[in-house]
Amino acid sequence: MEAERARELLARERMRIEQALAVRREGPLEADERLEPGDEGSEDLYQDELDAGRREELQEELAALERAEARLAAGTYGLSVESGERIPDARLEARPTAERTVEEEDRYRRG
C-alpha cells in the first residue's frame, strides 16, 4: 500500500475514534439526581457500564492506531508484526490498524 493512502486511512480512523471518545465523555448517568440506582425503569447503571466498556475499546483502538502510525513512520506499515509477511491491501483498507495477516490474527486470538 502506498504511504499516502495509508496516511489517509489512518487519519480517517483517528478522526472516527476521537469523535467517538468525545461523545462518550459526558460523564456517568448513575449520578443523575432524578433517579436512584435500582429505581424501576432506571437503566443508568447499565448504560454507565456499557459506556465504560466502549471507552476502553476506543482507548485500545487508539493505541493500535498509534502503533500503526509508528510503523508507517518506520517504513514497516503493511508488514505483519509477527512474521514480516505483507498484509494484503484489501485487509488494510478494511482495517487500517491491522498488525497481522488474517491467518496470523486467527492463531493469535485462539492462542
CATH code for the domain in which residue 72 is found: 1.20.120.910
Burial 64-81 (b: 16+ CB within 10 A, else e): bbeebbebbeeeebbbbe
Average of per-residue pLDDT across 78-97: 97
Number of domains in the chain: 1
- Give the mean pLDDT of the chain: 86
Residue 52: predicted pLDDT: 76
The residue length of the chain stands at 111
Residue 74: predicted pLDDT: 97
pTM of the full predicted structure?
Answer: 0.76
Average of per-residue pLDDT across 24-48: 58
pLDDT category at 33 given cuts 50, 70, 90 is: low
**What span, in angstroms and rounded, lies between the C-alpha atoms of 92 and 77?**
10
Average of per-residue pLDDT across 50-77: 93
**What span, in angstroms and rounded, lies between the C-alpha atoms of 71 and 63?**
12
End-to-end Cα, the chain, rounded Å: 29
Provide the residue range defining the domain that includes 37: 3-110
